[in-house]
Structure 1
Amino acid sequence: MIDRTGRVICDLTVSADGYSAGLDQTEERPFGDDGGDGSGDKLHAWMFDTPDENRAEVDQMTAAAAFIMGRNMFGPVRGAWDRRWNGWWGGNPPFHAPVFVLTHHAREPQPMDGGTTYYFVTDGVAAALARARAAAGGGEVSVHGGATTINQYLAAGLIDELRLHIVPFTLGAGTRLFEGVPPLRLEQVTSRSASLVTHVTYRVLS
């Protein structure tokens, strides 16, 4: 029986054709070729070029009581696993809560400044969700990406709400949301257009 204590939500920025990252992702280019300089500047310009216009959505992305992310969202594997690497998010990540990182590479928990602690989970999506729910204490759990991780949770029927930030250009290839996910019924809850992005929230019905 699936434990439904607290909502499981996800936030993801995607191109108009559904890609959350382009091809050729590297340590220097975490979002691959997105038509900008590879740092995600084009795909995520709405966060940084017009922050006041999108303040509510930016704040909402880090408001959960616990987070789950894939290993690529945390950072690249250097060799087998470099324990000196603390992720893309710097010394004071924006989460300020427990973050459960899905990986095949075991590692001790990594506390960071500001209240974020990374926990590395090697036994799958269900185990990560169970640990995140326990840490959240009935609060929201956010599956924070990337698309490959979100797809696993969608395919397993474990996402309650899908918050997409859709930018008006296409990538044509890369890491795509809904890849390998069975057909879903979605109910649109909210939609708001801004100058660089459209924010759409869906409730996942099945």
Structure 2
Amino acid sequence: MGEVVARLAMSLDGYIAGPESGREHPLGIGGERLHSWVFGLRTFRRMQGMTGGTGGPDDDLLAEWAERPGAVVMGHGMYVTGEIPWGDDPPFHAPVYVVTHHPRESVVKEGGTTYHFVTEGPERALELARKAAGGKDVSLAGGADLVQQFIRAGWLDELLLHVVPVLACGGRRLFDDLGDQHIEWEKTQVLDSPGVTHIRLRKVTASG
């Protein structure tokens, strides 16, 4: 069985989106600064249906992660904010299970992406995504609330943070609302580039 993984860009002060994120500002006001390092990479451009781009260690890391998931889980808020900029050919190219309170028919897009809307909660969405992934990993796309739920429940196996040297000073923080439990991660990789530091973390499983 594959693992549950997440890959998120984050500011130095812990935000993964700027203020007022929504349809008008999908990344929040100023949130594009968290992703500027990725826009010129060859793999990112390929995922967006474009050609060209640069290679190197950042691109190699992104390319590895792009091949891992066989299905995706995301929150309704992320789907709503991303639906317009993703357009008719979203970058997922896999079944996407959207956790929502709003039932609706599945939406089929180009490139192999189909959105399925799950009203029975995140655990059910994860169950369906695991079946659809066919032994590959399940990617947790966000947003922050859903990632927090997965961390609290112990469902997230690996987290790749792209830490960008900016201070967002507002928006959506990744590590809020985790309760008072002790959560421990093992650092397995650090890759430092001029505009971003990639930190790969794995969940520490209690022994005994």
Interval containing the TM-score (normalised by the shorter chain): 0.7 to 0.9
Equivalences for residues 83-122 of structure 1 within 5 A:
86-122=83-119
**Comparing both structures, which one devotes a greater share of its residues to helix?**
2
2:139 is the alignment partner of 1:142: yes
Structure 2 CA distance for aligned equivalents of residues 104 and 203 of structure 1: 31
- TM-aligned CA deviation for residue 194 of structure 1: 1.1
> Which residue in the other structure is 2:50 paired with?
none
2:63 is the alignment partner of 1:59: yes
Aligned residues with identical type, % of pairs: 41
* Superposed CA offset, 1:118-168 (max 9, x none): 111111110000000000111100101122211110011100001111100
2:36 is the alignment partner of 1:45: yes
- Which residue, 2, 5, 10 being the options, matches 1:6? 2
Amino acid at match of 1:185: E
Deviates more, 1:21-30 or 1:127-136: 21-30
- TM-aligned CA deviation for residue 95 of structure 1: 1.2
Number of equivalent positions: 189
- TM-aligned CA deviation for residue 61 of structure 1: 4.1
Structure 1 gaps, min length 5: 35-39, 77-84
Deviates more, 1:182-191 or 1:60-69: 60-69
> Which residue in the other structure is 1:71 paired with?
76
Structure 2 gaps, min length 5: 43-53
Structure 2 CA distance for aligned equivalents of residues 27 and 167 of structure 1: 23
What is the alpha-carbon root mean square deviation over aligned residues? 1.7
- TM-aligned CA deviation for residue 41 of structure 1: 2.4
> Which residue in the other structure is 1:162 paired with?
159
Normalised to the residue count of structure 1, the TM-score between the two structures is 0.85
* SS at 2:130 equivalent: helix
Normalised to the residue count of structure 2, the TM-score between the two structures is 0.85
